[in-house]
C-alpha cells in the first residue's frame, strides 16, 4: 500500500505500471535496473497475448 501524490490516504496498487509510478512518485528515479526489469515484464506480457 502506498500514498498517492495528493496524500489523501492509502491507495492499493499492483502491476508493473504501478510499480514504475511508485518509483517515480517516490523520488527513486532513475533506478535503471528496476526500470529495465519492469519494461521486460511489460514486453513479456504483450508477447504472451
Summarize pLDDT for 6-42 with one digit per residue, the tens: 555 555 556 888 887 777 777 665 667 778 888 889 9
Cα–Cα distance, 31 to 20 (Å, whole number): 10
Cα–Cα distance, 31 to 13 (Å, whole number): 19
Q: Which pLDDT value is given to residue 4?
A: 47
Q: Which pLDDT value is given to residue 28?
A: 62
Amino acid at each position: 500500500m502506498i500514498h498517492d501524490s495528493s496524500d489523501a490516504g492509502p491507495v492499493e496498487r499492483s502491476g508493473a505500471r504501478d510499480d514504475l509510478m511508485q518509483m517515480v512518485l517516490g523520488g527513486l528515479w532513475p533506478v535503471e535496473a528496476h526500470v529495465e526489469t519492469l519494461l521486460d515484464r511489460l514486453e513479456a506480457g504483450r508477447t504472451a497475448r
